[in-house]
Amino acid sequence: MSETKQLAEFVANLSFDDLPIEVVERIKFLIMDTVGISIRAMHDSESPPSLLAANQAMGYLGGQCRVIGTHTKYTPAGAAMINGTLAHSLDFDDTHAAGSIHASAPIIPAALAAAEMIGADGKKVITAIAAGYEVQIRLSLSLNPSDHYKRGYHPSATCGTFGAAAAAGLIFDLSADDIASAFGIAECQTSGSMRFLADGAWTKRFQVGYSGHNGLIAATLAKEGFVGPM
């Protein structure tokens, strides 16, 4: 069995009852932490006006998904992108030290948007976030984050696409084969450059939010039968 299929089987078979209580409580805390950081970012970071305006210009306004810190709803893809960007805007989001990644910003917004798409309950969301964290962190560890950085890549973004796809795929109740397909679609969209270090560009926050957007799209395409490379 390939590594992709092993990860897909893990995600497809994970249930809420598999999670230790301390993991459940930690995920609840991480959701609250992400919401709090995003609210602060909406008011204190520089990029929300242009971020919201661009999403509105692209027709992402007026869907069924909430954007944190506003009373306005956006499409699922728009909400995942905006919320993920907000969550990473202040660099206060959670960090996995060994993996050298911020896992919450791509995964939690994608999971929340997927849940609002289909009306999933809280247990499903918590399980999906756990799956997303496992996938994203294990990928980052396998890459050797220091080497990934040296090549000019941002692991919170590159690995985040797969974590978001895993979370959304679990919420959609995808089969292992469909989750593997979603991973293939995610791989074709993966990006994240460290160029922002040269001039302080806002792309650091955006590419992490966009990885959540892309992961949600990957899972949605797989849900509807679109086939990705495995």
pLDDT band at 230 (very low <50, low <70, confident <90, very high): confident
Structural domain of residue 28, as residue ranges? 3-223
**Does residue 59 sit in helix, strand or coil?**
coil
Q: What distance in Å separates the CA atoms of residue 75 and residue 109, rounded to the nearest whole number?
A: 12
Asked if the structure places residue 164 within a domain, the reply is yes
Asked if the structure places residue 117 within a domain, the reply is yes
pLDDT one-digit tens code per residue, 163-216: 999 999 999 999 999 999 999 999 999 999 899 989 999 999 999 999 999 999
Judged against a pLDDT cut of 90, whether residue 218 lies above it is answered with: yes
pLDDT at 67: 97
Q: What is the pTM of this model?
A: 0.96
The domain total for the chain is 1
Asked if the structure places residue 129 within a domain, the reply is yes
pLDDT at 100: 83
pLDDT band at 139 (very low <50, low <70, confident <90, very high): very high
Residues near 5 by beta carbon (within 8 Å), at least 6 away in sequence: 176, 180, 230
Q: What distance in Å separates the CA atoms of residue 99 and residue 79, rounded to the nearest whole number?
A: 26
Asked if the structure places residue 229 within a domain, the reply is no
According to DSSP H, which parts of the chain are helical? 3-13, 21-44, 48-57, 76-89, 104-118, 122-143, 145-150, 155-158, 160-171, 176-189, 203-223
Asked if the structure places residue 128 within a domain, the reply is yes
Q: In the predicted model, what is the mean pLDDT of the chain?
A: 96
pLDDT one-digit tens code per residue, 38-91: 999 999 999 999 999 999 999 999 999 999 999 999 999 999 999 999 999 999
Judged against a pLDDT cut of 90, whether residue 145 lies above it is answered with: no
Give how far the C-alpha of residue 179 lies from the chain's centroid of Cα atoms, to the nearest Å. 15
pLDDT at 204: 94
Judged against a pLDDT cut of 90, whether residue 95 lies above it is answered with: no
Asked if the structure places residue 228 within a domain, the reply is no
Judged against a pLDDT cut of 90, whether residue 35 lies above it is answered with: yes
Asked if the structure places residue 217 within a domain, the reply is yes
pLDDT band at 124 (very low <50, low <70, confident <90, very high): very high
Beta carbons of 153 and 198 less than 8 angstroms apart: no
List the CATH number of the domain containing 81: 1.10.4100.10
Contacts 24+ apart (CB under 8 A), 72-76: 76/113, 76/114, 76/116, 76/117, 76/216, 76/220
pLDDT one-digit tens code per residue, 4-25: 999 999 999 999 999 999 999 9
Asked if the structure places residue 184 within a domain, the reply is yes
Beta carbons of 155 and 140 less than 8 angstroms apart: yes
